[in-house]
Amino acid sequence: MSLLLPTNLQQYPSSSSFPSSTPLLSPPPSTAFVPRRRCLRLVTSCVSTVQSSVANGSSPAPAPAAVVVERDQIRLGLPSKGRMAADAIDLLKDCQLFVKQVNPRQYVAQIPQLPNTEVWFQRPKDIVRKLLSGDLDLGIVGLDTLSEYGQENEDLIIVHEALNFGDCHLSIAIPNYGIFENINSLKELAQMPQWSEERPLRLATGFTYLGPKFMKENGIKHVVFSTADGALEAAPAMGIADAILDLVSSGTTLKENNLKEIEGGVVLESQAALVASRRALTERKGALNTVHEILERLEAHLKADGQFTVVANMRGNSAQEVAERVLSQPSLSGLQGPTISPVYSTQNGKVSVDYYAIVICVPKKALYDSVKQLRAVGGSGVLVSPLTYIFDEDTPRWGQLLRKLGL
């Protein structure tokens, strides 16, 4: 495999190299742009190292090790704009960690609840790079960005891998027409007779580390990559690429551009994650304590997300009898609870128990069925409220983090 130049600088094999009676795609590719020889020579010299490393099947040179610079503040990197930025701030707010930015044009902010922590707004790929350089200690980025720019560097450690936003996957997509019309899997794509060393499969992507790595791991040899930052869906129709490798959320954009995903073509499942520098956690004063507090808040909130507390009163002769009635219902058994407590009242000067209070915790998808079944066994005065936090005795990911750090 080899990494080609960006499509606006690299001349691909023209359509004239192939028999006119067997076009590769329909509509036919447009005429390739031929750059001036001087421009091509300059750019080639800049990327020759990358071409060589990919062609030889080796990874690019690793990033330099992080240097822990002396400073009092812990630095947390957040995406600077877009949906990821808004969702990251909203998540922290839901965890009672309020990002205070004096001026929206400033790249630094504070979290009053974490007085030793600064927030720095950066592009996602720069968050990863600055974690590696030691300029940031923590960051929230997508797993796709972490994998592409972190390149499995041992100093990067995932603290929480599922922050419940930024869901997408990195996937290969091919046209629905032409020679690809009946191609539906990565295996079929690789076995197409059109690809050879002289005429390889052309894949447009912005993921120039994950793409070649995936193809190598799947034994696909005749592939070349062209780098691109946006509007990849147009590349096959323009004739400048045969397929693309890009992030997919709903898949709507692919369908609207007459492209399809294929079986076995998903490179990576991604969502937002909390990432840290291993060296910062072990060497920077206060970093580990800060991560512990952030992690506890995140775990408690994310576990409670989509859960509801249901409270009802129910007549019964004993707590045991009420519990048996509640647990006989399919939507009420197997959930957290029930917690059953006596409801005391005074009759004729005597304290007695006529009702019992039932408390159960149910997920949103089972809420209405649970309320119906609770009422069917005698529940009344049903109260429903969303849960904000569920604090466990221990934070599971905290123990996992300490083991990763060897602590």
Burial 170-207 (b: 16+ CB within 10 A, else e): bbbbbbeebbbeebbebeebbeeeebeeebbbbbbbbb
* Residues 163, 170: Cα–Cα separation, whole Å: 18
| CATH no. of 2-61+168-270 | 3.40.190.10
CA distance 253 to 273: 25
The residues spanned by each domain of the chain are 2-61+168-270, 74-167+271-304, 307-386
Residue 348 C-alpha from the chain's centroid: 63
Taking 50 as the pLDDT cut, the residues of the chain under it are: 1-59
Lookup: tokens for 216: 């190598």
Which CATH number fits the domain 307-386, given the four candidates 3.40.640.10, 2.60.40.1120, 3.40.50.300, 3.30.70.120?
A: 3.30.70.120
Q: What digits encode the pLDDT tens for the residues 306-361?
A: 999 999 999 888 999 999 999 888 878 766 778 999 998 888 888 888 899 999 99
Q: Are both 74-167+271-304 and 307-386 of the same fold?
A: no
Sign of CA dihedral 246, 252, 254, 257: negative
Pick the CATH number of 74-167+271-304 from 3.40.718.10, 3.40.50.720, 1.10.287.130, 3.40.190.10: 3.40.190.10
- Encode pLDDT of 174-186 as tens digits: 999 999 999 999 9
Q: CB of 254 within 8 A of CB of 176?
A: no
Please indicate, yes or no, whether the overall pTM of this predicted structure exceeds 0.85.
no
- From residue 101, give the alpha-carbon distance in Å to each of 46, 121, 274: 39, 10, 21
Arithmetic mean of pLDDT over the chain: 84
Nearest to 66 by CA among 313, 281, 228, 222: 281
Distances from the Cα of 222 to the Cαs of 128, 175, 225, 294, in angstroms? Answer: 31, 19, 10, 46
